[in-house]
A = this chain, B = another copy of it.
Amino acid sequence: MQISEAESRVITVLWERGSATAEEVIGVLKDQSDWQDATVKTLLNRLLNKGAIAAEAEGRRYRYRPLLKQSDWVLEESRGLLDRWFDGRLAPLVAHFNAHGELSRNDIDELRKLIEELDHGK
């Protein structure tokens, strides 16, 4: 499933709310973008045609709901990045951030805690 940047912003609203009408999506996005209503409708329609979301009639309008799962989509994106640039491994990614001074004390702490847990668990 391939969705564009703009489409991902729309489906993100559905991911956050579970489901929504076009009106609701438009409302949410009005705060985050300066898209016209028509733009959001187009994007909803494209997502619908791609099968990334579904629509069920609710009175005179539709209620939209994601079919594509956020965690799957995010995993695909993440794996793509990792495979293309980091030999599919996580450590080189982390090292890359560090090498660019983009690894905060907090990042390190969080990672250490997480790794400890995983390490014991496995």
Which positions in A face B, CB cutoff 8 Å? 71, 74-75, 77-79, 81, 85, 89-91, 93-100, 102-103, 105-108, 110-115, 118-119, 122
Given contacts A75-B102, A77-B85, A118-B103, contact A111 B90 (CB under 8 A): yes
Copies of this chain, whole number: 2
Asked whether, in the complex, the Cβ of B91 is within 8 Å of the Cβ of A110, the reply is yes
Given contacts A89-B107, A91-B107, A112-B119, contact A96 B81 (CB under 8 A): no
Which single residue of chain B is at the shortest CB-CB distance from A70? Answer: B85
Interface centre among A81, A90, A106 (most CB of B within 10 A): A90
Give CA–CA (A88, B119) in the complex, Å: 24
- A117 CB to nearest B CB, Å: 9
Asked whether, in the complex, the Cβ of A114 is within 8 Å of the Cβ of B97, the reply is no
Give CA–CA (A97, B94) in the complex, Å: 14
- A40 CB to nearest B CB, Å: 19
Interface centre among A91, A100, A110, A112 (most CB of B within 10 A): A91
